[in-house]
Structure 1
Amino acid sequence: MTARTERPILGLLFRAAAMLLMSTLVMLLKLAGERGIATPEVMFWRQATTIPIMFVALALMGRLGNLRTRRWKSHAARAAVGTAGLFCNVTAAVMLPLAEATTIGFTAPMFAVLVSVLVMHERVGWWRLSAVALGFAGVVIIAQPGHAPVPLLGIVAGLGSALVVAVAAFQIRDLTRTEDPIACVFYFAVFGALIASLMLPFYATRHDLGDILVLLGIGLSGTAGQLLITLSLRQAAVSTVIVMDYTALIWSTLFGWLVWDRLPPSVTWLGAPLIIGAGLIIIWREHRLSRAIPPANAMEED
């Protein structure tokens, strides 16, 4: 295998553009909910739009062989988990203001630590455990229990989406040992669209041009965002580019102001730094351990 040239600046630019598109996706998800489009329909078109786009693009590049796989069950399991996460993501986007929905999504690294402890039985030291506590303290501040300005169900859905992201990360890590990343995205869309299609007979309705444009925008922004995330990881390491994920808060705040004339309340600005800081601590700690400590000893030194 030949060594791959790192292009960190290009990777950061790809990741920043991906966060703009993913923030656009969340904004369109909220618009779809306000227009009365049922969540199963949104989920179906989010996934179904990806399939022809990727298939045609790969065919034009002569790379259809990248989709070759023998791990159909693993792809289906990944799609089942991811579909549950997409349901939570759509619910959170509809019920919560954009900035709050985006901020709650930043708890994924904290759930990854908890999954490592509870499921993988890994040893995790006080650095990461303290970061988890700090992050969830930020969630409590934003949720304001007892005051109920933010829908509790929306908070739960946002946390559920973040949990699924953490679980899916372990599934993707396993899949990419043998599968092309493009194949992972493609079959996630295929199986996800099939799962969502089972609910269409009960929820599908007629749509006007505005609804159709929103649904197409959801599919296109989600597909392009996923592609740019993949491209960013081809140019630089995860630990280098992931910091750009937090720029999504800037875009979601801007969209909330431009589209709904709403700026986040003061409690969001108090809780968001705790959640973001916790995520950065976890990322920094894992990056430091992976570089400074042999794999055999990493779990003992944290």
Structure 2
Amino acid sequence: MNWLTNFVRPKFQRLVAPREVPENLWHRCTICGHMVFHRDLEAALNVCPHCGHHLRLKVKARLQMLFDDGLYQRIELPKVADDPLKFKDQKKYIDRLKDARTKTGETDAIIVAHGRMGGQAVVVAGFNFDFQGGSMGVAVGEGLVAAAELAVVQDAALIVIPASGGARMQEGILSLMQMARSTVAVDKVKEKRLPYIVLLTDPTTGGVSASFAMLGDIAIAEPGAVIGFAGARVIETTIREKLPEGFQKAEYLLEHGMVDMVVPRRDLRDTMIRVVSLLRNRSPAAPVVPLPIDAPDPEVAGA
């Protein structure tokens, strides 16, 4: 009996017991509902292979996708006060910051990196939506200023990739001031005649879209990205009218002239390289050949 209880039964139970499958191995597409294996999703750059829906992409994966050989160098961002207003709602702001830093391993919602893209020098400021919804506070403003200054020093194109819910309410007026600071920083890049390109991802809203995100020399958007200022429901409630189908989506903005192109994620790197090359190439596309000056016709000259 002991042999059956201690040996046979446990072995049989292990054989028939359901195996535990980690939850993060499969991801459900929010549009078509299909389950996609995590490795297949990573290989497709977080684009659903069934319907083509562009799921949000982690900022580090995006940087690795854009830079040559996935290599880039991050810069250390200026230090700022963590909680300048001593803000507290249901939870202290300083505690929210600690939770976000523990979750993401980052100090704030922006990463500034520089490297090569198609052999060309570029500086990229990418937003991390996982850090408090990519909201823009003083630290993010400092990051944008640092990115602009680095682009000027390195004579490089500046690429900004917003993914944000807007200004960070816990920093109040200090957060709103970053709209003006980031705009001034962009102007410094443009004064040096350096390319400033914005890659609009899902979502780009609030004070971010009302400042630097809409000032690019070229505005590129990912398919299906939500881009706007106020939310669609807020607008509908305010104007008391039904909004058009696809309002605030990238394709709608392209149709109405708010963005220059909508590019699938698999084509983004090649498109960005081509755009930067066109904006940086200040010389003629081909050698300039002087046209021969014909001698005047004697009959015409005699007349």
TM-score, normalized by length of structure 2? 0.23
Structure number with greater CO (CA < 8 Å, separation at least 6) is: 1
Higher strand share: 2
